[in-house]
Structures are given as C-alpha cells and as structure tokens.
C-alpha cells in the first residue's frame, strides 16, 4: 500500500463496517507504517484497488513469534474470485520472512463467510473470546 491508495482503502474500510474519511485514514496509515512491525498489501484489478490486508508481528510471552491479520477486506464486487486468497498468501509470505511460526486472525462471530474462507485456507478455530475496549479521547 502507498499513500496513493488511501481513498480506495478508505472505501473498503467502509465495506468492512468501519467507515473512515480519507484524511483520517492517511493519518492512521502514517502511524502504522512508522512503527515498522507491520505491513499493508493491496490487490489491484485493472489498476483499481479491490482489497487489502494488514499484517503485524505480534510478539507475546505465551507463544512463539507470530503474525496477526489485523484487517482483510475484498471489494464486494470481487469476492470469491481469488483476491482474498492472494492477499492471504502475500501476508503469509511476509510473516515467514519476518521469522514468524504462525499467522492468526480474529473474526467477528457474525462474519460466517469470512470464517469459511479462513477454514478453507487452512486456519482452525482455536478459541472463542470476548473483546473489551477502554477508550480515552
């Protein structure tokens, strides 16, 4: 992903259920890329961004070095055409090159189509959990 992709990625964020203005996404993009422990890849069809994946190394004490998929979305008009599989493969290549031994993803309970995609891609369900957030600002 480059800064030229901001508007298209913002549109895809909306399709994922997280609408964002391009200016705000540009700020987030700068913050994410400035950290150096993650990467964002886009998929294009005929020069148009139709999907993206955000992967990050997640070092934790209780497991070997792993990567987490922090976001993955494919444009609604390009789903089931191999775009997601291509993005996932790129994320996995990046994770292996970073020395990770696993790739993980969290997916909302309601996203049954996404669950089936991950299972077809070799992922297995390992637990169910609750997500909590405490916001300030």
- What's the pLDDT score for residue 116? 96
Angstrom distance (rounded) from CA 87 to CA 43: 7
Q: What is the pTM of this model?
A: 0.92
Instruction: Report CA 65 to chain centroid distance, whole Å.
Output: 18
| H helix count then E strand count, the chain | 4, 4
Q: Does residue 55 come out as left (phi exceeding 0), alpha (psi in the -120 to 50 range) or beta?
A: beta
pLDDT digits (tens, 9 = 90+) for 67-92: 999 999 999 999 999 999 999 999 99
Residue 57 near residue 65, CB atoms below 8 Å:
yes
Whether 66 has a pLDDT exceeding 90, the answer reads: yes
pLDDT digits (tens, 9 = 90+) for 23-52: 999 999 999 988 889 999 999 999 999 999
Domains plus CATH for the chain?
A: 3-120 (3.40.630.30)
Contact partners, residue 90, CB within 8 Å, separation at least 6: 41, 53
The distance between the two most distant Cα atoms of the chain, rounded to a whole number of Å, is 43
- What's the pLDDT score for residue 107? 93
- What's the pLDDT score for residue 28? 95
């Amino acid at each position: 992903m480059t800064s030229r992709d901001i508007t298209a990625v913002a549109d895809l964020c909306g399709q994922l259920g997280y609408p964002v203005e391009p200016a705000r996404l540009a700020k987030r993009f700068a913050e994410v890329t400035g950290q150096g422990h993650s990467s964002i890849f886009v998929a294009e069809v005929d020069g148009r961004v139709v999907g993206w994946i955000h992967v990050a190394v997640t070092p934790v004490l209780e497991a070997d070095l792993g990567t987490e998929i922090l976001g993955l979305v494919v444009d609604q008009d390009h789903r089931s055409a191999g775009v997601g599989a291509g993005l996932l493969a790129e994320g996995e290549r990046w994770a292996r090159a970073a020395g990770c031994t696993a790739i993980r993803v969290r997916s909302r309970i309601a996203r049954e189509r996404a669950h089936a995609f991950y299972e077809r891609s070799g992922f297995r369900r390992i637990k169910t959990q609750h997500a909590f957030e405490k916001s300030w600002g």
